[in-house]
């Protein structure tokens, strides 16, 4: 259903590229360029979030991403391959997690469960993964022009977001072997 103020995400073609939308050749490891700012107060269905091209495009080391949102938490599953990064490890990974807004450009993630295949990941490894994820998100979110998080909450099948988001987005193709 369209918003009453007519706001829609813009889809620039980007730097003379023949692609019809940003992200056509991009993944999480692409260089993302965001600009502008528009106020948003929406409940975003998980189907809309999963339709984001980066979730559908293989990233070096990460593919087949799926996410389910529940009241207060979310579950994610993906196939990872860490061999390109020096770790002889590949297979399915599952995470149960919570996210809380910690500032206008900051969130904190709590990993409640992390499994590799059918094996639970030991608590010390899960804690290290949680620290690394929070560090990555702190850096990545701080770089997004136009982002301001006032409310971020998981609901059954959706994410409630209030704040501002960038109005334009462009992404370049990923560099081979680049981490997101």
* Three-state secondary structure of the chain: CCCCCCCCCCCCCCCCCCCCCCCCCCCCCCCEEEECCEEEEEEEEHHHHHCCHHHHCCECCEEEEEEEEECCEEEEEEEEECHHHCCCCEEEEEEEEEEEEEECCEEEEEEEEEEECCEECCHHHHHHHHHHHHHHHHHHHHCCCCCEEEEEEEECCEEEEEEEECCEEEECCCCCCCCC
Q: Is the dihedral of CA 86, 128, 109, 102 positive or negative?
A: negative
Give the chain's domain count. 1
57, 50 Cβ separation under 8 angstroms? no
Q: Which of these, 164, 91, 92, 102, lies nearest to 135 by C-alpha position?
A: 102
The domain of 68 spans: 36-163
Tell me, what's the pLDDT at 173?
60
110 has which bridge partners? 98
pTM over 0.85: no
Say how far apart CA 158 and CA 156 lie, in whole Å. Answer: 6
Give domain status of residue 8, yes or no: no
82, 89 Cβ separation under 8 angstroms? yes
Tell me, what's the pLDDT at 31?
56
Tell me, what's the pLDDT at 107?
96
Give domain status of residue 69, yes or no: yes
Counting as low any pLDDT under 50, the low residues of the chain are 1-24, 26-29
82, 90 Cβ separation under 8 angstroms? yes
Give domain status of residue 168, yes or no: no
Give domain status of residue 4, yes or no: no
Give domain status of residue 175, yes or no: no
Give domain status of residue 14, yes or no: no
Give domain status of residue 42, yes or no: yes
- Reported as a single tens digit per residue, the pLDDT across 158-168 is 999 999 988 87
Give domain status of residue 108, yes or no: yes
Tell me, what's the pLDDT at 14?
34
């Amino acid at each position: 259903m369209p918003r009453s103020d007519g706001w829609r995400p813009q889809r620039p073609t980007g730097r003379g590229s023949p692609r019809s939308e940003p992200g056509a050749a991009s993944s999480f490891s692409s260089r993302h360029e965001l600009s502008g700012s528009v106020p948003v107060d929406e409940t975003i269905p998980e189907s809309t979030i999963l339709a984001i091209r980066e979730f559908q495009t293989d990233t070096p080391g990460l593919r087949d991403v799926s996410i389910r949102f529940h009241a207060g938490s979310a579950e994610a599953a993906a196939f990872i391959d860490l061999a390109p990064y020096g770790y002889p490890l590949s297979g399915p990974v599952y995470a149960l997690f919570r996210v809380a807004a910690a500032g206008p450009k900051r969130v904190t993630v709590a990993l409640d469960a992390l499994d590799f295949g059918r094996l639970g990941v030991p608590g010390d490894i899960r804690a290290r993964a949680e620290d690394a994820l929070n560090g990555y998100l702190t850096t990545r979110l701080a770089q997004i022009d136009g982002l301001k998080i006032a409310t971020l909450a998981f609901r059954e099948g959706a994410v409630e977001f209030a704040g501002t988001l960038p109005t334009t987005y462009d992404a370049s193709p990923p560099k081979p072997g680049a981490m997101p």
